[in-house]
Amino acid sequence: MYIVQVAMLQRRIGCAPDELDTPCLTLELSLLEHNIERMASLARGAGVALRPHAKTHKLVEVAERQLAAGSDGLTVAKLGEAEVFAEHGIGNLLVAYPLWGEQKWRRLCALAEQAEVRVAADSAQVCEGISAAAQAHGVVVAVRIEVDTGYGRCGVQDASEAAALAAVVERLPGLRLAGVMSFAGQTYGAPDGVGNAARSDAERLVEVASALREGGFDTPEVSIGSTPSAAHIAKLKGITEFRPGTYVFSDRDQAALGWGTLDDCALRLTATVVSRPTRDRAVIDAGTKSLSSDRATHADGWGTIVGHPSWALSWLNEEHGVIALPPGEDPSIGTIVEIIPNHACGMLNLHDWVAVVRDGEVRDWWPVAARGRVS
Amino acid sequence: MYIVQVAMLQRRIGCAPDELDTPCLTLELSLLEHNIERMASLARGAGVALRPHAKTHKLVEVAERQLAAGSDGLTVAKLGEAEVFAEHGIGNLLVAYPLWGEQKWRRLCALAEQAEVRVAADSAQVCEGISAAAQAHGVVVAVRIEVDTGYGRCGVQDASEAAALAAVVERLPGLRLAGVMSFAGQTYGAPDGVGNAARSDAERLVEVASALREGGFDTPEVSIGSTPSAAHIAKLKGITEFRPGTYVFSDRDQAALGWGTLDDCALRLTATVVSRPTRDRAVIDAGTKSLSSDRATHADGWGTIVGHPSWALSWLNEEHGVIALPPGEDPSIGTIVEIIPNHACGMLNLHDWVAVVRDGEVRDWWPVAARGRVS
């Protein structure tokens, strides 16, 4: 009872963001809409289907806006995320993850009864497991072969392995070969060469798709990921679908890689200066448990403090953030700060709610519906 | 409805840990009990009160075991954590954090109506805010002055600043000076000199307490933190209370610093090999969203894989963990692994439930009751 009262107190509507009980995630609706429309427009212009990765936001309300802007479906990393979105009526989902185990295969087939489902696979073993469950459930599951185009994570290694796996998929009952996909994660490590990394990723994937078609395998879907590839999507020949995630909020890393600027970052953490132990140090009430421990690939420190370029968020503990202050800067205890995170995707995973802001006022609170769906 | 069914399916009792739907946090009850009793015994032997830091576990069931083993109360980092524990009947709480803002001060005073509450402070501004709220609520709040004994985070800097703040606390209605406290976080950076760091921390804090007493301020409580100090607690003169947190589980860092060995780590993440893209690489279904991005201070990599010393968990993405395999190691897809984390405190913050294991069987599921209480 008491907890409910406090929780309601914390979720006030109509206040300014700096009146929130901190730390608190805030989402600027106009910037969110701008990022969604910008990516939808890029994909439309390139003639490529857009299937945003919802692992970034885990929010039903954001997913609905992405679909309304012209996406046919969503991408998720975890089956649990897919279940939450399906439960909220989202009917077209790609689980971009190799699923293993009886429990997961049963859950996948139950999901396939609710929604149009695609799933990634890079091994015969995973395909066999899904096939057995699909037969038991009387469903057909669409499989995309994941190809490692250079990032070095999951995926078959070349066209020959892809063809071998395609043959397995075609042979197994309850499965349908839907296409190929890659992550394109190598774009993140290439600040001066995103275009090259994106091209190399797309070329390798398209080569694999062509080889499959030449081998007689129907391969309609050729899908790449990663927000940094967005600027190059119109030039990437043979790609049918794009699965960016972080673009929806943006963050320090994406701004460094060219997805807008820091001013386009829709997600911020609002925090408060709670201690001024020394002249050159301010401590805020936010640490790794609200910002995550994710480092930026292309920036120093733990976040950008909006409006205070000389303040360095130099050090985080779990619930403390230490700001190194230059001479002459003297924020009082109680000063509210807004932080643009290194990596937005880790943050929604830490919070139950996000305050939705428009025109300087909290208009709504969205529950992070798919948070905690780790499996 | 559907989500509830899935969630129940995932929380099976009576199965072996390797039958869980992964990734999943598992807690070995016998090791938990061992760690709790070991620390309680150390504190008893040293004649020092024990007030475990519950930020590590956020679990009511663990807090109850810590209290049953002889602790008078708990420490928390966030007011929201304190509210959850008080709601579950835990009646003695230290909020080891400087609280700022009308909302927090009101919540603190509401908490003080339910439980015996102490709160940390290192500024007159924070004390004035709490005092005003305490008067409005008709409660008296016990204040501990936080002293920075070398870690460089929050805290007054010396005995003179402590005395000035003690005078403020004594002057303000609704407040009671309860003592002094430090974090002793510098012990973490001193693998060969934990004893020296712990002694230096304790000596500085005791000096401040002595100076306050000489100045006429009642200073009964002299409290230090940090698990690494445990081995030295019996030699630290003048300390009345100890607030270790991570000892309750232990982790790679604590084992490196001498709190038992890796075999004493009670908390593990159970994960599954889901991909074998190359001969030298296995990918598991756990990344930073289930292990956190916390690096170890005294170890490389992202965790220790139990029973496989030659497998290196070399790289994490959000939902992927990449294991570098030496020649001759060839785990099949579906292999279950148990990971000892770098830093336990970040992990409970990511999971809603922990599977409680004894004698190789899941006996219970505990909800992470204080997870998500960021403010």
Tens of pLDDT, residue by residue over B109-126, are 999 999 999 999 999 999
Q: What is residue A187's predicted lDDT score, i.e. its pLDDT?
A: 85
Q: State the pLDDT confidence band at A11, using cuts at 50, 70 and 90.
A: confident
Q: What is the pLDDT of residue B191?
A: 62
- Non-local CB neighbours of B176 within 8 Å, separated by 6+ positions: B140, B141, B142, B143, B169
- Residue B374 has a pLDDT of 94
Nearest CB to B2 within list A87, A292, A352: A87
List, as ranges, residues 110-169 from B with C-beta within 8 Å of A: 110, 114, 122-123, 125-126, 148, 152-157
Give Cα B70 to chain centroid, integer Å. 18
pLDDT in tens, A317-347: 999 999 999 999 999 999 999 999 999 999 9
Q: Does B107 touch chain A (CB under 8 A)?
A: yes
**Nearest CA among A105, A120, A199 for reference residue A156:** A120
Per DSSP, the three-state class of A50 is: strand
Q: What is the mean pLDDT of chain A?
A: 95
What is the percent of chain B where pLDDT is above 70? 97
Confidence of residue A10 (pLDDT cuts 50, 70, 90): low
Average the pLDDT over B84-101 and give the result.
98
Q: Does B370 reach chain A within 8 Å, measured CB to CB?
A: no
Note the pLDDT of residue B218: 95
The residue type of B370 is A
Confidence of residue B10 (pLDDT cuts 50, 70, 90): low
Nearest chain B residue to A20, by CA:
B103
A374 touches chain B (CB under 8 A): yes
* pLDDT score for A87: 97
**The complex's ipTM?**
0.96
At residue B190 the predicted structure's pLDDT band, cuts being 50, 70 and 90, is confident
Question: A 18-37 residues with CB below 8 A of B?
Answer: 21-24
Where do runs of H (alpha helix) occur along chain B?
2-10, 29-46, 60-68, 79-87, 102-114, 124-137, 159-171, 194-214, 252-256, 288-291
Chain segment A37-74, per-residue pLDDT in tens: 999 999 999 999 999 999 999 999 999 999 999 998 99
The pLDDT-based confidence of A4 (bands split at 50, 70, 90) is: very low
Residue to substitute from B100, B160, B349, interface A, most A β-carbons within 10 A: B100
- Quick one: pLDDT at residue B186? 85
Q: How far is A208 from chain B (nearest CA, A)?
A: 16
Q: Does B272 touch chain A (CB under 8 A)?
A: yes
**Any chain B CB within 8 A of the CB of A314?**
no
Interchain CB contact of B103 with A (< 8 Å): yes
Interchain contact, A154 vs B97, CB within 8 Å: no
CA atoms of B29 and B358, how far apart (whole Å) = 6
Average pLDDT over residues B161-180: 98
In this predicted structure, the answer to whether residue B6 has a pLDDT above a threshold of 60 is no
Cα(A317)–Cα(A289) distance, rounded to whole angstroms? 8
Report the pLDDT averaged over residues B338-363.
97
Per-residue confidence band for A2, with pLDDT thresholds at 50, 70 and 90? very low
pLDDT bucket at A297, cuts 50 / 70 / 90: confident
Position A3 pLDDT exceeds 50: no
User: Of chain A residues 173-232, which have a CB less than 8 A from chain B?
Assistant: 185
Q: Convert the pLDDT of each residue in A248-274 to its tens digit.
A: 999 999 999 999 999 999 999 999 999
Residue contact B318–A9, C-beta within 8 A:
no
Q: What is the Cα–Cα distance from A32 to A27, expressed in whole angstroms?
A: 7
Residue B281: list chain A partners with CB under 8 A: 152
Say if residue A9's pLDDT is above 90: no
H-only helix segments in A190-269: 194-214, 252-256
Q: What is the pLDDT of residues A121-178, one digit of tens each?
A: 999 999 999 999 999 999 999 999 999 999 999 999 999 999 999 999 999 999 999 9
Identity of the residue in B3, B103, B154 whose CB atom sits nearest the CB atom of A21: B103
As a whole number, mean pLDDT of residues B102-108 equals: 97
Probe site for chain B from A274, A314, A317, A325 (most B CB atoms < 10 A): A274
pLDDT for A375: 94
pLDDT confidence bin for A192, thresholds 50/70/90: low
For residue A366, is pLDDT > 50?
Answer: yes
Give the tens place of pLDDT for each residue, B293-321: 999 988 899 999 999 999 999 999 999 99
Asked if A2 lies within 8 A of B87 by C-beta distance, the reply is yes
Q: Is B53 on the interface with A (CB under 8 A)?
A: no
Q: Is the pLDDT of residue B2 over 60?
A: no
Mean pLDDT of B337-350: 97
Strand pairing category for A361-367 and B175-181 = unpaired
- Flag whether residue B78 sits within 8 Å of chain A, measured between CB atoms: yes
A8 and chain B: CB distance < 8 Å anywhere? no
Q: What is the pLDDT of residue B185?
A: 83
The crossing angle, in degrees rounded to 10, of helices A102-114 and A79-87 is: 30
Work out the angle at residue A78's Cα, subtended by the Cα atoms of residues A75 and A80, and round it to the nearest 5 degrees. Answer: 110
Q: Is the pLDDT of residue B64 over 90?
A: yes
Of A24, A123, A345, which has the smallest distance from its Cβ to B375's Cβ? A24
| pLDDT for B28 beyond 70 | yes
CB A345 within 8 A of CB A246: yes
Q: Is A373 an 8 Å CB contact of chain B?
A: no
Percent of the residues in chain A that have a pLDDT greater than 70, as a whole number:
97
Number of Cβ within 10 Å of residue B191's Cβ equals: 14
